[in-house]
Amino acid sequence: MLPKFKRVLVKLSGESLMGDKNYGLDSKMLGAYAQDIKEVVELGVEVAVVIGGGNIYRGMNESETGIERAHGDYMGMLATVINGMALQASLEKIGVKTRLQSALVMDQVAEPYIRRRAIRHLEKGRVVIFGAGTGNPYFTTDTAGSLRAIEINADVILKGTRVDGIYTEDPEKNPDAIRYEKITFDEVIAKGLAVMDLTAFTLCKENDLPIIVFDMNKKGNLSEVVSGKNVGTIVKSK
């Protein structure tokens, strides 16, 4: 099975690492994701990963928490590094070489983010996990994923979710919702469909970087996506 893509960035939500728990990390989910990534690496695909931090800390309304937005965003960045370290441990446990790079300086646990070094790691077959978002408050990990994907010249962003693509409506609320196989950036905007936050989505649109939204929790889906199978929904220019 020959891969369609040479270099990909996988975007995962922090909540996906919770499994059936209300918060924190589920070792079974980490193990399953690590195995899926290993299968893709063994196909010869270069893999980078960005993970959110919502399973540990999600920025909340300042009026409710008393924590100002910027301060809370930095807390969220630290949560993404914890998730990155957890995925790194799971990958290395099954023999996958990795590097964790952080947009915030924390030399004891991660390399600093250096674009050229990240690309070199990918060329050597290492999975590169990008932590701490962009290193700036007011930007989401979706935006970090789009930015890093563009910087490393990824072929596509693979946005792993708990649904199998983009639908006309929320499929969890309307079982008659129809899944799109392909859709353009302009159509997503015109229809008001939620794929990523607007900053992240605009970065992809302006740099002609395709996005594939798919169900990461179905075993084998990641390998099928990188092999060009009809899995999920692809968003791209016309």
Q: What is the pLDDT along the chain (238 residues), one digit of tens a residue?
A: 689 999 999 999 999 999 888 889 999 999 999 999 999 999 999 999 999 999 998 766 677 778 999 999 999 999 999 999 999 999 999 999 999 999 999 999 999 999 999 999 999 999 999 999 999 999 999 999 999 999 999 999 999 998 899 999 888 888 889 999 999 999 999 999 988 999 999 999 999 999 999 999 999 999 999 999 999 999 999 8
Dist CA 45 CA 179 (whole Å) = 27
The residue whose two tokens read 């059936």 is 20
CA-based nearest residue to 35, from 159, 219, 224:
219
> What pLDDT score was predicted for residue 97?
98
> What pLDDT score was predicted for residue 95?
98
Rg of the Cα atoms in the chain: 17
Helix, strand or coil, per DSSP, at residue 32: helix
> What pLDDT score was predicted for residue 145?
98
> What pLDDT score was predicted for residue 187?
95
Contacts of 81 (CB under 8 A, 6+ apart): 100, 102, 104, 106, 109, 110, 131, 132
The residue whose two tokens read 């589920």 is 26
Strands 179-180, 166-167: pairing kind: antiparallel
The residue whose two tokens read 């490393």 is 152
Dist CA 163 CA 147 (whole Å) = 24
Does domain 7-236 bear CATH number 1.10.1660.10? no
